């Protein structure tokens, strides 16, 4: 029992600390998660960590939910909940506090300029993650063609991207 | 020079809701707490390949709660704030529309659905993770999801029509991430001053 709560406490503290250095998003701190989980605590092997990460990428939802899978692996359902809450709770409160403060400052020119100034960084990083994921997914020419086709479809049409995901899954099932 | 095409830019500038920092203009609906929860539940559950592209699709195109520019701004702030981006966006939009309850509804919707799915996957993974068909389907989906993210970025860029200094900062972020593979905090914090400078400069250059 005390061992369990010990592990849960380590999960909570570890991911709380990680969430607060995660500038740029949850994916920015994957190497730090790897260090915590594999090197510091020895909860799993490198290969197992990579598997869980791939699983979280393949599932719907925020990619940061890999922390939920790590928690599950280490401490079952309680571990999953503790790790997810540690990763999201304090960071969410901080965003909430910022949002409250922002509405009081609304209209200030420096704030508007700051917000507009972060737009290119945000969009550039979406491009960047698209490139990185395309490279990772391009196991052969067909997979690359699926990515390119999906890019054009989502860019040029207003239909739901679920279509390209379904087609991608089908092509994968038949050819990959 | 809001980074929007001319007519829209003037509207955005004059919109009192925009001025007060509220995303809703007079013509745009303000979601209830329940709508925030259900919409974010959907975003989480369909959010293959990361949720930011899906959140944009649902919030900007389907629900029209925020404009392209507003979504890009909130996402930019979400990247500077520590913690998961998608969470920071959900909390900020929830708070702007419906205060504390709105923030709570949006963020629990975003994480609640996928957590249940992941729980199921975690239990099934050991049994079925190595089945070739499952791996092949996941590989095809991953390739399509990667393209979806690129298509979304292209769409945003096309709609916002950035002035060249803003565009240059965007390209620098792309190169820093995809080519140089710099750690994200470096990119965000390193480029923030240049982005702000570019925004300030283009704001000033507005006739």
**Tens-place pLDDT, residues B77-87:** 998 898 899 99
Q: State the average pLDDT over residues A154-163.
A: 89
- Min mean pLDDT across B75-84, B124-133, B196-205 is at B124-133
Please state, as a whole number, how many other Cβ atoms lie within 10 Å of the Cβ of residue A158: 9
Note the pLDDT of residue A27.
Answer: 67
Note the pLDDT of residue B17.
Answer: 43
B143: nearest CB among A59, A147, A161: A147
| Residue of chain B whose alpha carbon sits nearest to that of A87 | B83
**pLDDT surpassing 70 at residue A48:** yes
On whether any CB of chain A is under 8 Å from the CB of B14, the answer is: no
A134: nearest CB among B50, B92, B150: B150
**pLDDT surpassing 90 at residue B106:** yes
**pLDDT surpassing 70 at residue A94:** yes
pLDDT band at B190 (very low <50, low <70, confident <90, very high): very high
Sequence-ordered list of residues with C-beta below 8 angstroms from that of B18, at least 6 positions apart, any chain: B12, B25, B70
Note the pLDDT of residue B11.
Answer: 38
**pLDDT surpassing 90 at residue B127:** no
- Min mean pLDDT across A6-15, A61-70, A143-152 is at A61-70
pLDDT band at B173 (very low <50, low <70, confident <90, very high): very high
Note the pLDDT of residue B73.
Answer: 93
Cα–Cα distances (Å) from B200 to A99, A123, B77, B205, in that order, read 22, 18, 16, 9
| Residue of chain B whose alpha carbon sits nearest to that of A63 | B50
Which residues in chain A are closer than 8 Å to B87, comparing Cβ atoms? 62, 64, 88, 91-92, 95
Nearest CA distance, A113 vs chain B (angstrom):
6
**pLDDT surpassing 50 at residue B16:** no
Which residues in chain B are closer than 8 Å to A90, comparing Cβ atoms? 83
**Tens-place pLDDT, residues A114-123:** 989 999 998 9
Sequence-ordered list of residues with C-beta below 8 angstroms from that of A29, at least 6 positions apart, any chain: A18, A19, A21, A22
Q: State the average pLDDT over residues A67-94.
A: 94
- Min mean pLDDT across A8-22, A24-38, A83-97, B105-119 is at A24-38
As to burial, measured by CB atoms within 10 angstroms (0-12 exposed, 13-18 middle, 19+ buried), residue A141 is exposed
How many interchain CB pairs under 8 A, A with B? 406
3-state secondary structure of B24: coil
pLDDT band at B1 (very low <50, low <70, confident <90, very high): very low
| Residue of chain A whose alpha carbon sits nearest to that of B74 | A115
ipTM: 0.86
B88: nearest CB among A68, A95, A158: A95
Interface of B with A in 166-195 (CB under 8 A): 166-174, 176-178, 183-185, 187-189, 191-192, 194-195
Nearest CA distance, B16 vs chain A (angstrom):
10
Please state, as a whole number, how many other Cβ atoms lie within 10 Å of the Cβ of residue B154: 19
How far apart CA B138 and CA B131 sit, in angstroms, is 11
**Tens-place pLDDT, residues B35-84:** 999 999 999 998 887 788 899 999 999 999 999 999 999 999 998 898 89
Note the pLDDT of residue B206.
Answer: 60
Interface of B with A in 93-132 (CB under 8 A): 95-96, 100, 103, 107, 110-111, 113-115, 117-119, 121-122, 125, 129
Three-state SS sequence of chain A:
CHHHHHHHHHHHHHHHHHHHCCCCCHHHHHHHHHHHHHHHCCCCCHHHHHHHHHHHHHCCCCHHHHHHHHHHHHHHHHHHHHHHHHHHHHHHHHHHHHHHHHHHHCCCHHHHHHHHHHHHHHHHHHHHHHHHHHHHHCCCHHHHHHHHHHHHHHHHCCCCCHHHHHHHHHHHHHHC
- Min mean pLDDT across A30-39, A81-90, B129-138 is at B129-138
Is the torsion defined by CA of B8, A116, A60, A89 positive or negative? negative
How far apart CA B130 and CA B123 sit, in angstroms, is 14
> Rounded to 5 degrees, what angle do the CA atoms B189, B108, A86 make?
55
**pLDDT surpassing 50 at residue A46:** yes
Is B183 in Cβ contact with A102 (below 8 Å)?
Answer: no
The overall average pLDDT reported for chain A is 88
Which residues in chain B are closer than 8 Å to A125, comparing Cβ atoms? 79, 173-174, 177, 184, 187-188
Note the pLDDT of residue B129.
Answer: 62
On whether any CB of chain A is under 8 Å from the CB of B5, the answer is: no
**pLDDT surpassing 70 at residue A95:** yes
Q: State the average pLDDT over residues B146-160.
A: 91
Which residues in chain A are closer than 8 Å to B137, comparing Cβ atoms? 169, 172-173
């Amino acid at each position: 029992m005390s061992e369990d709560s010990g592990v849960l406490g380590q999960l909570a503290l570890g991911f709380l600390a990680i969430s607060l250095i995660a500038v740029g998003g949850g994916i920015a701190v994957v190497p730090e998660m790897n260090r915590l989980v594999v090197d510091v605590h020895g909860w799993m092997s490198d290969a197992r960590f990579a598997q869980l990460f791939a699983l979280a990428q393949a599932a719907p939802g925020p990619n940061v939910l890999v922390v939920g899978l790590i928690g599950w692996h280490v401490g079952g359902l309680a571990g999953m909940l503790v790790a997810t809450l540690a990763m999201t709770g304090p960071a969410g409160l901080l965003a909430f506090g910022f949002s409250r403060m922002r509405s009081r400052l609304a209209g200030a020119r420096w704030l508007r300029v700051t917000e507009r100034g972060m737009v290119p960084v945000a969009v550039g990083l979406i491009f960047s993650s698209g490139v990185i994921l395309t490279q990772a997914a391009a196991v052969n020419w067909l997979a690359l063609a699926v990515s390119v086709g999906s890019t054009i479809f989502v860019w040029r049409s207003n239909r739901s991207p679920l279509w390209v995901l379904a087609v991608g899954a089908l092509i994968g099932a038949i050819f990959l | 020079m809001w980074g929007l095409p001319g007519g829209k830019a003037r509207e955005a500038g004059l919109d009192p809701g925009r001025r007060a920092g509220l995303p809703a203009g007079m013509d745009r609906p303000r979601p209830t707490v329940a709508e925030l929860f259900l919409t974010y539940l959907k975003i989480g559950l369909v959010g293959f390949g990361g949720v930011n592209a899906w959140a944009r699709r649902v919030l900007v195109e389907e629900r029209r709660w925020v404009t392209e520019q507003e979504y890009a701004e909130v996402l930019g702030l979400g990247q500077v704030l520590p913690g998961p981006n998608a969470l920071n966006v959900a909390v900020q939009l929830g708070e702007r529309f419906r205060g504390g309850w709105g923030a709570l509804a949006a963020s629990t919707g975003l994480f609640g659905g996928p957590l249940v799915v992941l729980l199921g996957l975690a239990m099934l993974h050991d049994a079925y993770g190595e089945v070739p068909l499952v791996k092949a389907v996941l590989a095809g989906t991953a390739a399509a999801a990667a393209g979806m993210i690129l298509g979304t970025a292209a769409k945003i860029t096309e709609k916002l029509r950035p002035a060249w200094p803003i565009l240059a900062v965007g390209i620098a972020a792309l190169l820093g991430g995809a080519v140089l593979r710099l750690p994200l905090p470096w990119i965000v914090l390193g480029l923030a001053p240049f982005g702000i400078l570019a925004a300030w400069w283009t704001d000033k250059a507005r006739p």
